[in-house]
Homo-oligomer: A and B are copies of this chain.
Amino acid sequence: MKTIDLNCDMGESFGVYRLGMDEEVIKHISSANIACGWHAGDPMVMARTVRMAADHGVAVGAHPGYSDLMGFGRRTFHCSLPEVKNYVLYQIGALLAFCKANGIKLRHVKPHGGLYNLASADPDVAMAIGEAIAGVDRDMLYVGLGGTSGRSSAKAVEGLCLRAIREGFPDRAYTPEGTLLSRRLPGAVISDPEEVASRALLMAKENKVTATDGSTIELNVQTLCVHGDNPAAVDLVKRVRQALESEGIGIKPMGKMA
């Protein structure tokens, strides 16, 4: 049976501030990327979220970001490569402690926001993150952008003898060249549930995506990113999962694929 992973960013609340419908979306996904207290999350939120993922049998990954709570880690921040490595190492370790306390493994690392974008565009940054992963546990998976844009970064990480998982975005438009259409351009984000579900299916079943010019291009991804920001987003996740399962695609954590 063909399988794919559904991943969602979680644990992004902070102190009294609540963000995301984690309790709902956790029921429908196979991997949770949990914020590590820098761009979002705090130790109480991390404890709660790791416990919840463990209870639902959802694979846990670290979701490290820049030290920029005020900008939610989305802003670009020019750090040196040793800084990137050590910042990620720190955050992986922090989340690892909560995994150990819950008797589960930390399975993957997916950088957040500005760091994700930079890591996808710059193989040196991806390698700095890869070195942090290799320092802690070589079985942990690196998650980066699939398609043309993230190709060099994924290969760089694999050069460190780590497994790089390619990620697809069923709710984002792709150019004919296989890169994500910039969010600044119209049509970058797709909101129709049926269209998103059918794009997810095309990615999972045929390793393809329909580009902005209508052409069908190859896109080989092992995990699909979904969101749990609001009730509509959660419904969309349900719809995507339903579409995949009704076509015989299994939903499995990225680490457990063949």
Contact = CB atoms under 8 A, between A and B. Distances in A.
B43 A97 contact: no
A99 to B, nearest CB: 9
B90 A97 contact: yes
Contacts of A82: 44, 47
A116 interface: no
Nearest to A74: B16
A43 B91 CA distance: 9
Interface centre among A15, A69, A135 (most CB of B within 10 A): A15
Nearest to A89: B97
A50 to B, nearest CB: 10
A82 B135 CA distance: 29
A76 interface: yes
Interface in A70-100: 70-72, 75-79, 82-83, 86-87, 89-98, 100
Contacts of A91: 94
Interface residues of A, number: 44
B44 A136 contact: no
A162 to B, nearest CB: 14
Interface in A98-129: 98, 100-101, 114
Interface in A37-70: 37, 42-44, 46-47, 67-70
Q: How many monomers of this protein are in the complex?
A: 4
A89 B75 contact: no
B16 A47 contact: no
B101 A89 contact: yes
Contacts of A135: 97-98, 100-101
Contacts of A101: 89, 132, 135-136
B86 A92 contact: no
A75 B72 contact: no
A97 B87 contact: no
Contacts of A47: 82, 86, 89
Nearest to A75: B78
A104 to B, nearest CB: 12
Nearest to A79: B75
Contacts of A76: 76-78
A68 B76 CA distance: 13
A22 to B, nearest CB: 15
Nearest to A87: B43
